[in-house]
Structure 1
């Protein structure tokens, strides 16, 4: 990784300093003699501080990941109560389910520029603060317009943090991209599952008000702000005012849209997001229409989401050890095709098996995050690749759930929607193989 990338996007290079490097930190004099112990002690202290800061970054990654989905899944759990409380029409409620992907695409584009100006740590810190404010304000905003605006604020914080998490991992843990992506992905899956499972019980325990049930998740977001305040302050102290020039140089020499790998990764990300949103939005209804009870259908969805917790930790570690991640994309796609076949042929009889297969298939998300970190040689490249991949990908994912709902409504059954889902899995496998090739976007641009 280039030094200017580290200065701009990650920790100060101080913790990695070796004895041979030390004169560069001083006045250019020769190595200190036996009587000059103070510089040595200074560098030891700096190394210890850098080690502590890395642990703070790890805590920040986990806490941030835990907060990247509860604002969405908690709302899904209480959507009926929200609609009744705000007098929200079905059309507006349908729009609300599409807003996350739109916000992720729109606000994610701004993440690289913000990161170059303020540093990823400061932007993620602001993102966590935006989630906190948006989540706590929206239940009490006084109407549908205020609810949507506050939701947009929270989603903006989620969007920029989504883009910058792979950047933070690449900057701070360049030699451990797989394990750290796995830890982050596991925490994200855990936050998704916990919000879906606990929102209703917590709402009941706190008096039964949907407003309280939604606002309580702001507490977790507020806790996530704290480690990123430390990281942002350290970056300002270590990087200084010269980092903007380094970032600008990286910006002008890399044209992400000319990279075939970047496009393959963006389409792969978009198709896996489409499958995930369709699964979260429609899988329980498929089971209920097949005769499965509402309670069991909800548990089946929880099982699908929970599969991502252990697999999201293991899969990136495995992917990082492979030169070509295409075989993993094929395996996950085949699990998805098998799950769709089961939903078509015997949705109720094999419901638990299909839920497990869909849960495995949904782990294309951590695979995509891992490949984002591996397809660039620098943190500046990862910034651009992450923003491009996620912005384009989330735009691709917007029509999927709406199209499935339209086909279901007009056909009166699940045959055509499931055929669409299976059909989209085929190009996902193809572009996953292309994105998994051992290439770097800098070589292609």
Structure 2
């Protein structure tokens, strides 16, 4: 009997640290995910107020809207190297420390240039977190990837939803600087949690160790599928960040109050969250993803047209824009699903997010630039919004049939792959 008792005690002692480590990792993942869009949406409703104090024009607002994409483009490619050097937990702690420090310090910015630089620091942290969280989910929850991916998606949306809802009322009470810096506690808390997790030995599940697998047959930048996915991701991201940046200004120009305009950003994000809850399942089960993408693009089209033609019904049009914004979840699901190996998943995700964010750089900047040059928003709606939707529709149709990056690198078309499966 004694050997059995010893075995039981040993098993419990080995499981408890792992369980505690996973619980701590879950809390840290949620806290970190809350910050990934908060850095953007906590600032955009206040840009009109800040612009009046600092004296910057619409083009500078476009620069603020472009900064997240610059950060995501650069660190989509750089973060894997940082992770190899520091480890994923230390990288997550660094990302949240940069995010929190940038948010605190930009609240004290004396001029436009300083505000841009410190916002860039905060966005660098968010960009690191954007890349490092999915591998951490695979590391700590290899048996719950779908559930934790949904948790991450919900946390990202919640972090994007609440700041614009309260930013203007808080600024009216305490000033825009307090409203801007108040959110830093979430990032600093996440930094502490990931530092603790980093210092805890023996908390990573054995099943989390990634298995080996063959490398891609060709470099990913030579695979047409990767470029098409990057272009689709870029066009979707183009519109997401254009709306994050410019929706409050568009509604302000149409006669709505700053508080109401900020609440519309929250409504858009909330609507995107509701669609995003079902989008991954529907996308994974679809034999043809084009109808799903086309539905989201039609939401964008109706929403843009409504805001331009009848802004007095803004809440209705924002619901359609939220349906369009949920395409971000759809495309991220497509990226994660179209790989057969961990190496393929890492290569496709890093390339698509990095190159796609680079493609999306023009959206917020050109939208504001065209508006400033013409004194109205018509050209911005037609060329910047409408043009991107047409490009997204064409690419989505070309990539309508699910297949893997490994097959694409070998030059096997999805139709040929289906024929092979039928004859096996």
Q: TM-score range by the shorter chain?
A: 0.7 to 0.9
The 5-angstrom pairing of residues 354-433 of structure 1 reads 354-420=317-383, 421-433=385-397
CA change 1:411–1:393 in 2 (3 A) is same
Per-residue deviation, residues 315-352 of structure 1 (Å, max 9, x unmatched): 224334445544322221222223334345x4236433
The aligned residue for residue 117 of structure 1 is 85
CA change 1:371–1:50 in 2 (3 A) is farther
Instruction: Note the C-alpha offset of 1:237.
Output: 7.1
The aligned residue for residue 7 of structure 1 is none
Counterpart check, 1:50 vs 2:11: no
The aligned residue for residue 191 of structure 2 is 225
| Counterparts of 1:321 and 1:230, CA distance in 2 | 39
CA contact 2:45–2:262 (8 Å) conserved in 1: no
CA change 1:73–1:426 in 2 (3 A) is same
| Counterparts of 2:5 and 2:217, CA distance in 1 | 43
Counterpart check, 1:189 vs 2:157: yes
Instruction: Note the C-alpha offset of 1:439.
Output: 2.1
Counterpart check, 1:198 vs 2:166: yes
CA change 1:193–1:148 in 2 (3 A) is same
Counterpart check, 1:162 vs 2:126: no
| Counterparts of 2:277 and 2:398, CA distance in 1 | 23
CA change 1:327–1:213 in 2 (3 A) is same
Per-residue deviation, residues 389-415 of structure 1 (Å, max 9, x unmatched): 111111111112222233334444443
The aligned residue for residue 46 of structure 2 is 78
| Counterparts of 1:291 and 1:215, CA distance in 2 | 28
Instruction: Note the C-alpha offset of 1:197.
Output: 1.6
CA change 1:371–1:232 in 2 (3 A) is farther
CA change 1:166–1:306 in 2 (3 A) is same
SS in 2 for 1:307: helix
Instruction: Note the C-alpha offset of 1:103.
Output: 1.7
Structure 2 unmatched ranges of 5 or more: 410-424
SS in 2 for 1:376: coil
Per-residue deviation, residues 362-412 of structure 1 (Å, max 9, x unmatched): 001112222232222344433332221111111111112222233334444
User: TM-score normalized by structure 1?
Assistant: 0.79
Considering only aligned residues, what root-mean-square deviation do their CA atoms show, in Å? 3.4
| Counterparts of 2:378 and 2:231, CA distance in 1 | 25
CA contact 2:41–2:244 (8 Å) conserved in 1: no
Instruction: Note the C-alpha offset of 1:127.
Output: 0.4
CA change 1:253–1:44 in 2 (3 A) is farther
| Counterparts of 2:203 and 2:21, CA distance in 1 | 13
Counterpart check, 1:96 vs 2:64: yes
| Counterparts of 2:203 and 2:141, CA distance in 1 | 20
User: TM-score normalized by structure 2?
Assistant: 0.82
CA change 1:47–1:430 in 2 (3 A) is farther
| Counterparts of 1:210 and 1:392, CA distance in 2 | 34
